[in-house]
Amino acid sequence: MSKSLDGVLTKKANQKETFTEAQIEDLKACTDPDTGYLTFCQKFFNIQHPVEGKMLFEPFDYQQRLLGSYHDHRFNINMLPRQSGKTTTAAGYLLWYAMFHPDQTILIAAHKYTGAQEIMQRIRYGYELCPDYVRAGVVNYNKGSMEFENGSRIVSATTTGNTGRGMSISLLYCDEFAFVSPSIADEFWTSISPTLATGGRAIITSTPNSDEDTFAIIWKESQNKFDANGNEQEVGINGFHGFTAKWDEHPDRDDAWREAEIGRIGEERFRREYGCEFLVYDETLINSIKLSTLEGKQPMMNMGQTRWYHKPKTSENYVVALDPSMGTGGDFAAIQVYEVPSYKQIAEWRHNETPIPAQIRILKDICEHLKTEMKNQGTNIYWSVENNSIGEAALIVINDFGEENIPGLFISEPMRKGHVRKFRKGFNTTHSTKISACSRLKTMVENNKLEVCSSPLITEMKNYVATGTSYRAKPGQTDDLISATLLAIRMMSVLKDWDPRVYSSFSQAEGDDVIEPPMPIYVTGGLG
C-alpha cells in the first residue's frame, strides 16, 4: 500500500501479486458477467452511513433492481425519490465498472459542482476501504478523477453545454439531470448523444422537476414501449429503460413517516420529491398540482397560423383579445379567443414577425370567421387590444383601418374615478390591473372554470412564476399567450356589466375577493 498526495490509502499500480484460493474465488465472483456487480457491492463496497458510520453496503430490494437495470440495459433513466440511496447505488456500480472493465472512460455529470464532488467522494471512500486484492491499482487519484492501471478512469464534472465534448465516453452518469437549466441540459444532451452512439452507455438519474424539461422528455419516451406495429418492448421508443421506485419501498418509511414529512414540507413538495410526480418546482401563478393535470388538445382546424380548438356557437358570446408587439422578431404578438359564459378557449394566434397592420388584419379575420360561424350574427363578438406603448400604434392602425370594418364591438376599460389621463380605447395594463387579472386567472383555472385547450398556453403557465410582487415568464421563456388571456379576462369583467348571464357566471368564477400581493396566491376550495 502507499499514500496518495491526499494522504489516503491507495494501491500501487502494476505490482506483482499472489492470491489465495479464496481470494481468487472472490475475484471470479466479481468478474462474473451476470452478477459480478452485485457481489462486489454486497461484499466489498463500504459506505459511510450518517448514523452508523462505516458499514458494508447492503442494498435494499429496489436498489438491487436498480443495479440490475444499470447492468442489463445500455441506456437507463431512473426517476427516484429523494434520499432513496440513488447516489450510493450509483457510486458502487461505477467503481465496480471501472475496476473490472479495462479501457473505459466513465463521465459523471452532476447538476452542481458539489454534487459531482459528493459522488466522487463516495467512490473514493468505497475504493479506499476495499480489500487490497480486490481493488485495482491507481495511476492518478484526486478529487475530480481516478485513473486505474487497467486503463479505465472516472471523471466528474458539472453539467454544462460543453461537458464531455471531445471525450470518448464508455459510460455516462447524469445526476439530478432534471435540475440542470433547460437550455444547458438540451445543449449538453445534443452534444453528448453522438459520443454514445458508437457503443457508449448512459445512466440518467433524478427526482422530477418540470414535466417539459429534457429529463421529462427522455422519461416519457422511455415509457412509450410500443413499436410501430403495436408490439410492446422492454425499452422505450428512445432506447431507454425507465426505472422508478415508490417512497414506501424504503424499509424505514411508512404511513406515519409520510404524514410527518408532509407536515414538515407540505403535500405539494412531498408529491414531487417523494412521490416522483412531475410538479413544477417554481412558485408558479397556477398551483403546480393543478398544472400537472392540464392537458392540451390538438386544434380541430388551422386557419393560417390561428389554431381553432372549438367550433363557435350562435348562442354564445366571444371575446377576442390582442396583445400586440412590434413584429420585428422580438416579443410575440398574441390573440386569444374565449367563449362566454362557458369560459372555453376557442382559438389562439401568436407570432413575432407579423407587423402591426397585419396583426389587425388577423384580428379582423378571426372576427369574420366567428361572424360566419354564428350565421352572420356579429353582435355577440367583443374585441379589444392592450393600449400600452406598442398598443398605441395598434390603435392608430385600427383608426386608419376603420373600427366599423371589424365585426363585433370594440370594448374598452371604463375610466377610473380621479383618473386624469386622456381616454384611450382598449385596456391599459398597470401593476394593479395585472395582479387583479392574475388573481382571476388563477382562481378560474384552479377551480375548473376556465377551459384551457392550448398546449403552448399550458407551457407558458408552467413557466409563469412569482417575481417580486408580480408574475412574469422565467428567463428565456415567453408569456405572450398568458398576457392575451389576462386581457381577455379583463374584457370579461367589463362584459359582465352588460350581459346578465356573464355577470352571474363570471362573478362565481372570479371568486369573492381579488387577491393582492404578497405572492404567490393560493386558492383552495370550490366555487359556485
Residue-wise pLDDT tens digits, 125-176 = 999 999 999 999 999 998 889 999 999 999 999 988 888 777 889 999 999 9
Task: Name the residue among 346, 350, 359 with its Cα closest to residue 299.
Answer: 346
Confidence (pLDDT) at 168: 86
**CATH code matching the domain that covers 2-245, chosen among 3.40.50.300, 3.40.50.1370, 3.40.50.11030, 3.30.310.50:** 3.40.50.300
d(CA 53, CA 317) in angstroms, rounded, equals: 69
Query: Do 293-510 and 2-245 fall under one CATH topology?
Result: no
Mean pLDDT value across residues 63-84: 94
359-390 tens-digit pLDDT: 999 999 999 999 999 887 667 899 999 988 88
pLDDT band at residue 510 using 50, 70 and 90 as cut-offs? low
SS3 274: coil
Residue 61 dihedral angles phi and psi, to the nearest 5°: -55, -45
Of 3.40.640.10, 3.40.50.80, 3.30.420.240, 3.30.420.40, which CATH number belongs to 293-510?
3.30.420.240
Tens of pLDDT, residue by residue over 417-467, are 555 556 688 999 988 899 999 999 999 999 999 999 999 999 899 889 888
Task: Name the more confident of 369 and 468.
Answer: 369
**Which residues lie across from 345 on neighbouring strands?**
338
Please give the model's pTM, rounded to 2 decimal places: 0.65
Mean pLDDT of the chain: 86
Can you point out the beta strands (E) in 433-502? 464-467, 470-473
> Is residue 523 predicted with pLDDT exceeding 70?
no
pLDDT reading at 297 higher than 60? yes
Share of the chain above pLDDT 90, in %: 53
Give the per-residue pLDDT at 267.
84
Whether residue 198 is predicted with pLDDT greater than 50 in this model: the reply is yes
What's the angle, vertex CA 248, arms to CA 245 and CA 64, rounded to 5?
Answer: 45
CA distances from 278 to 285, 291, 336, 460 (A): 17, 9, 27, 16
Distances (CA, A) of 289 to 277, 451, 523: 9, 16, 12
> What residue spans define the domains of the chain?
2-245, 247-279, 293-510
**Crossing angle, helix 356-373 and helix 390-401, to 10 degrees?**
60
- Residue 527 is predicted with a pLDDT of 26
What is the residue whose three cell numbers read 454486497? 42
Amino acid present at 222? S
